[in-house]
Chain A
Amino acid sequence: MRPLSILITIILSSLCQAQRSDPTQFNGGSTLAMAGRNSVAIAIDARFGLGMQTISTGESSDNSRAAGEGNPRILHLPNSNVLLAWAGLHGDGTSFAEEMNVLLARKVRRAGCMGFQHGSSSSSSVVGMVARSKMSPRAITSLMSHLLYGRRNAPYYVEPVVVGLETVRVPIFIENDSLPLEGNGLQSLIQASNAPQLISSQNEHTLSKQIMTYKTMQKPYLCGTDMLGAQSTSHSFVCSGVASRSLHGTAEALWVPNLEGEELVEVCGRAFVSALERDCLSGYGAVVYLIQGSEDGTEDDVQIIEYVLACRND
């Protein structure tokens, strides 16, 4: 019993010391991601420091980059529907970014899905298959979790956030009284839509036929992982970084469902900047990236827009 109590005392004291200098909070930085109806937004700040001392706020001496691109937060754009960002220890963040780069490049090359559209997706004749044109955010999150847990004994001190639009197949029901049950009309309808199934529901009062067909849409996807790769997806928001406690509060208060593009940017930006008002380890500039899906949820016309916000300089 004696050695056990001594061990517990040692562990507790070193825990206290560890909390005082948490590597995840050493360099500062926060991120917040929110989902709208068919768009997602992610906000990142621009402070890099050593504990209390601020070293860099993102102005690099490289004049071939844009004004905001020296941002210390690590931000990745693997393809046009996913954005990755992480806060945490910057050295580990850079090493992790390099590993992700190598693996993503390898997978993308092997799968042949570089993001270029080869033919339209509706020409796929195999039932149940959607043409793989881009790596989905869910797949990238799985890869990220795998990499992070692979370093279980000496983890990377990063807290990644994945946002994107993922393609899902949503069943839609078409009610059409005038459809004939058999005949060529139905066959042509089956051939025209993707993998249809005919469900005929015969009511006692009316003979209405329902046809269930699938429509591919882009839905927002948000996922935050901890430094060991445990995923937590959400329909509303995810946050990470030093100000994550305040961010949970402001985002919960301000988020409403079904936000549209610029509205989403405003809500996300406001929640982010308000939380950073009370946090001295983040700040010095906020940038919001909006991944805007198209109106009807199809895969074309995805835009990624960058908004630079004014933020508190401390």
Chain B
Amino acid sequence: MLVHLMLNLMVFFSNCICAAWAQQSAAGQDTLIGIVGSDFVMMGADSSSSGGGGIALTSSNIDKIAVIHDGKGLLNGDRMCHDPSAECLEQQAIAVGFAGDAADADRLVGMLKSHAQIREYEAGIGNDALCVFDGKIEPSTPTAVIGALSPAGLDAEAIANLSRNQIANRMRSRQPLQLCLLVGGMVRCNNPGRTLPEVEVVDRVQKQISAGSAEYKSESNNQPTNECQSPNLAINRSRSPNNSRSPALSRHDQKTSNPFLAPQLFWLDQYGSLQNMRYAAHGHGSNFAYSVLDQRYRKDMSRQEAMDLIQECFEQLRQRYVINSPRPPRIKCIDSFGVTNVMDDTMKH
């Protein structure tokens, strides 16, 4: 009878353990930030690692944004998607920012890369075989042979759902994946004519902030200037024009974007949730980053504006986050041209 009681208690115990783990995010000390712009996704990550929550920084040049697919064809670097009228059926670039357990991340990212490559191969991208039907040479792109309207390979949404399935299946096992991800890429959208609807919550927040600060400014005209009048924002605003314009960014800003491709950003956490968001962040630094992003995000930002916004988030972390990241963050831009390193270790802070 006691054995039976203990068995029941063990089952109950395991349930309690399952309930008790829902406390902390797996991405503790890592910070990941992602922003969707007009025709790109910009992702930023801090570059330091402390071996999963220790007190000593073991490394300061970690690249936490893994490129699952660089978006270039196997044979030629030139893509067809720059032409706005082309229906983009080629594999687009996908990047995954990971935070949390480094071993789990490494394994999952390796698996995603293999899947992307297998699907690309199966779809015949980069295949230089010419198909001849009845003596007539068909156009050499494999998409003409496939003839379907479905995009080839895996896109960012597929990668995000694949990761979610892996995380959700492992969640109740002995070793759940302690991993938080941001997946970004260009996804082929079905009705290209639609414009992005207004970001409602961000608009409401910004209206409240401007209403509040307008009231505050009218009061402070009668009083001596208060030092608390948002000094951080003033500093950030003066600092961002000093960041040199990244040459990689201005090259792509003027291109007309392909209406068939839409930038998408997916947020995944270690409990198997998946959210499609305009801007997102992971880690303890996300508490600070969300505040800055809520205030400054606009839809259809240019690449320079998005980079400035991510810089501003990391600037805020440098001021207020207790964990110091000595090297500059890694910032990458994912668009229809591929993945561009906007800021990495070689650039000055």
Chain A interface residues toward B at CB < 8 A = 4, 7, 10-11, 14-15, 17-18, 21-23, 26-27, 48, 50, 53, 55-57, 59-64, 66-67, 70, 72, 89-92, 94-95, 153-154, 284-285, 313
Contacts and interface: CB of A to CB of B under 8 A. Distances in A.
Nearest to A24: B19
Contacts of A56: 267, 275, 277, 280
Interface in B250-303: 262-265, 267, 269, 271-278, 280, 286-287, 290
Contacts of B204: 313
Contacts of B164: 91, 94
Given A50-B269, A57-B201, A59-B201, A17 B16 contact: yes
A15 B12 CA distance: 10
A230 B16 CA distance: 20
Contacts of B273: 27, 48, 89-91, 94
Q: Which 6 A-B pairs have the closest CB atoms?
A: A91-B272, A60-B276, A18-B19, A90-B273, A67-B197, A14-B16
A59 B277 contact: yes
Interface stretch (B117-125, B165-173, B327-335): B165-173
Contacts of B130: none
24 contacts: A17-B20, A18-B15, A23-B22, A50-B25, A53-B286, A55-B275, A56-B280, A59-B277, A61-B196, A61-B262, A61-B264, A61-B276, A63-B194, A63-B196, A70-B276, A89-B22, A89-B273, A91-B168, A92-B168, A94-B168, A94-B274, A153-B11, A153-B14, A154-B18
B189 to A, nearest CB: 4
Contact of A313 (B20, B201, B262): B201
Given A22-B19, A48-B275, A94-B274, A55 B189 contact: no
A14 B275 contact: no
Interface in B166-194: 167-168, 171-172, 187, 189-191, 194
Contacts of A55: 267, 275, 277, 280
Contact of A53 (B2, B199, B287): B287
Contacts of A26: 22, 271
B36 interface: yes
B3 to A, nearest CB: 12
B215 interface: no
A127 B202 CA distance: 60
B292 to A, nearest CB: 15
Contacts of A94: 164, 168, 272-274
B271 A60 contact: no
A95 B272 contact: yes
Nearest to A93: B273
A106 to B, nearest CB: 19
Contact of B172 (A59, A63, A154): A154
Contacts of B276: 60-62, 70
A14 B277 contact: no
Contacts of A50: 25, 269
B23 interface: yes
B264 A11 contact: no
Nearest to A92: B272
A225 B165 CA distance: 25
Contacts of B278: 59-61
Contacts of B197: 59, 63, 66-67
Contacts of B171: 91
Contact of B200 (A10, A21, A59): A59
Interface string B204-243: 1100000000000000000000000000000000000000
Contacts of B269: 50, 91
Contacts of B74: none
B189 A63 contact: yes
B11 A21 contact: no
Contacts of A284: 201
A1 to B, nearest CB: 11
B9 interface: yes
Nearest to B20: A17
A17 B187 CA distance: 42
Contact of B19 (A21, A61, A92): A21
Interface string B1-33: 010011001011111111111110100000000
Contacts of B277: 55-56, 59-61
A90 B20 contact: no
Contacts of A48: 273, 275
A11 B21 CA distance: 16
B97 to A, nearest CB: 15
B195 interface: yes
A64 B16 contact: no
B220 to A, nearest CB: 27
Contact of A18 (B20, B172, B187, B189): B20
Contacts of B9: 7, 11
Contacts of B19: 17-18, 21-23
B164 to A, nearest CB: 7
A247 to B, nearest CB: 23
Contacts of B195: 63
B180 to A, nearest CB: 10
A95 B194 contact: no
Nearest to A154: B172
A112 B245 CA distance: 62
A68 B43 CA distance: 25
A140 B36 CA distance: 39
